Amino acid sequence: MAIKPLEIITIKMQTPSPEILAKNIIYFCNILRSRGVPIGIDRSLDVIKSLSLDSFKNSNHFYWTLASILIYRAEHMKVFEKVFEEFWYQPNHPLTPKKKEEPKKSPNKESRKNDDLLSYADTPLPENTTPVTKNQPSKTPLLSSKIESLTKKDFNSMSPNEIAMARELITKIKFPLKPQPTRRWKISPSGKKLDLKQTIQKSLKNSGQLVNWRYKSRRLLYPSLVLLCDVSGSMKNYSRVLLHFLHVITHQIPDVSSFLFGTQLTNITPQLRKKEINLALQGISSLNIDWGTGTRIGFALKEFNLQWSRRLLTRNAMVILITDGLDSDAGQHLDNVMKRLKKSCKKLVWLNPLLRYANFKPITTGASTIILYTDLLLPIHNLESLQDLTKALDHITL
């Protein structure tokens, strides 16, 4: 059933400050979210970017801009229309902070229509929220500023709310691994190589006359990707956030295998293949994983080489090792294990959170051994480093 638009007319209004506009849009999105409309941070940010200060001069344009970005389902349109009416047009609604008593006047429809949309923007909304006024400086930065500062903040120093926001932003990251040509061929109308065998076979139906030429091209397959993530005590805070990154990669690339290791190696690939992240994490928590213990890098990688290497490291495989290189076994037998792992894969990438320090040097036995066999060394301590990782892998040739 189509929802009729509100009877909104074009009104000339006083231009608000960008901060007041953005803050009230955030509050408006929070109310919709509390009423059951699924709105992520990305949509809130899209609204702020798409709306200019002049949008308030045409309230009809303002209404449909919000609706087109925030509402994806028809059943949510009624909720949106009701909240929009309550939030932007009713100055005496309970959502509005109380004002000083003034002589009561009975408002009519036309006076309500001509109310400035910004009358609500100056003193926003929900309960237990500090109202925003033009004369009072905002204590809360804009959403875009929050995201920009959050991308540079270390995972280890994030609050629970910031970690939740970081996990949501991780789901938007695109992993740039591209399919690679193999030695096998496939029939392709746009291929550049003549398929003589298929051409002759098809010509037999026409008494040997070559009517249509057949062409072929290389078959494309994604390279195998193996992720080995350290969950020891020194990596505990990082690994819990990076599990969301592993889940995103698993659902973007066909052939991905993920492992966690501390003192032993654990395969979590079946759990990460579940579409819902909560179900995936629930399945991982049921496994016997030694979270926050010591690190036996050599032992874990040796177990991987013996039990998994031959099955997984095929088709120009790439291995991504996520660890700080602090080994409880002091690098015992690590040299032979890393040499075997390097020979089994096409590229070996080491992601180390300690690279957040400008003066980092691999002086420990484990780190100094791993770096000898690494093709690419990158940091992995914040959202910005994850974005740099995707850019760096986009330029790697397998």
Taking 80 as the threshold, does the pLDDT of residue 99 lie above it? no
Measuring CA to CA, how many Å separate 340 from each of 33, 60, 217, 336, 372? 51, 65, 34, 6, 13
pLDDT band at 398; cut points 50, 70, 90? low
109-118, 255-264, 385-394: least confidently modelled range: 109-118
Q: Which pLDDT does position 343 carry in this prediction?
A: 92
Q: Which of 136, 73, 85 is nearest to 112 (CA)?
A: 85
Q: Which pLDDT does position 57 carry in this prediction?
A: 59
Q: Which pLDDT does position 96 carry in this prediction?
A: 39
166-191: per-residue pLDDT in tens? Answer: 888 888 888 877 777 888 888 888 88
**Measured at the alpha carbon of residue 180, what is the angle toward residues 174 and 182, in degrees to the nearest 5?**
155
CA atoms within 13 A on the CB side of 328: 15
Rg (CA), the chain: 29
Q: Are 375 and 381 in contact (CB under 8 A)?
A: no
Q: Which residue has the higher pLDDT, 215 or 132?
A: 215
Domain boundaries, the chain: 18-151, 185-219, 225-394
Q: Which pLDDT does position 145 carry in this prediction?
A: 63
Q: What is the average pLDDT across 94-107?
A: 43
Taking 70 as the threshold, does the pLDDT of residue 98 lie above it? no
d(CA 57, CA 138): 24
Q: Which residue has the higher pLDDT, 135 or 337?
A: 337
- What does CATH list as the number for 225-394? 3.40.50.410
Q: Are 234 and 295 in contact (CB under 8 A)?
A: yes
- The residues, any chain, with a CB within 8 Å of residue 159's CB and separated by 6 or more, are none
H/E element holding 237? helix 236-250
Direct distance between the N- and C-terminal alpha carbons of the chain, in angstroms, rounded to an integer:
52
Taking 80 as the threshold, does the pLDDT of residue 238 lie above it? yes
Q: What is the average pLDDT across 372-393?
A: 89
H/E element holding 367? helix 365-370
Q: Are 264 and 303 in contact (CB under 8 A)?
A: yes
102-137: per-residue pLDDT in tens? Answer: 444 444 444 443 343 333 333 343 443 333 444 444
**Cβ atoms within 10 A of the Cβ of 342, count?**
16
Q: What is the average pLDDT across 219-237?
A: 88
Taking 90 as the threshold, does the pLDDT of residue 228 lie above it? yes
Q: Which residue has the higher pLDDT, 57 or 129?
A: 57
Q: What is the average pLDDT across 213-217?
A: 87
Q: Which pLDDT does position 117 carry in this prediction?
A: 36
Q: Which residue has the higher pLDDT, 182 or 343?
A: 343
Q: Which residue has the higher pLDDT, 68 or 4?
A: 68
